[in-house]
Amino acid sequence: MSGTETGEQPTKRTLRRDFLAVRSGLTGDDTRGAAVLLAERALELAELAEARTVAAYVSVGSEPGTRVLLDTLHARGTRVLLPVLLPDNDLDWAAYDGEGSLVRVRHQGKIELLEPSGPRLGPEAVLAADTVLLPGLAVDERGVRLGRGGGSYDRVLARLELSGADPALVVLLYDSEVVARIPAEAHDLPVHAVVTPSGVRRFR
């Protein structure tokens, strides 16, 4: 990663740039194959098998794919909540009712997202989740997650912590995105587990 040649600690911004650059080089076959393996590995988790409500997200571009996982959870009767991006970068939530329930939304200055079309349940709806699947760019051996830097999921995690809710926090990544160390800040809340195409690793 950039910065390591001089022995300096790479910044989060540099790490984000580097991880995104690697993802941009993935082919469609790469991402589709990884999505199937991710779903298989994730569905082995007790935290998903036993969850009544899962807060998740719809992957876009070269992100580790979630669509297979979302459809499988929905088909077996798990209540799946998906985020709706608000103008201030906070997240509202709505239930996932299958592939036809997603709509393409282009937020000003951001990439096009797929969001649920159902009734909005409010930002507090995530508090009902037994498991929260988090997007990310990397995770380290302590469970510290590197997000994209927009702050949306920092707000979600702060809301969970403030309310006393304690869902399982799981991040979905490619194998190369599990690293030794990511710069951590006081507010960073470690995840419980990471799922990659090759398996699951637990942290706490």
| pLDDT tens digits along 38-57 | 999 999 999 999 999 999 99
Distance (Å, rounded) from C-alpha 69 to C-alpha 56? 10
Distance (Å, rounded) from C-alpha 56 to C-alpha 168? 12
Domain boundaries along the sequence of the chain: 4-202
CATH number of 4-202: 3.40.50.10420
| pLDDT tens digits along 46-99 | 999 999 999 999 999 899 999 999 999 999 999 999 999 999 999 999 999 998
Q: Give counts: helices (H), strands (E), the chain.
A: 5, 12
Q: Which amino acid is at 83?
A: P
pTM beyond 0.85: the answer is yes
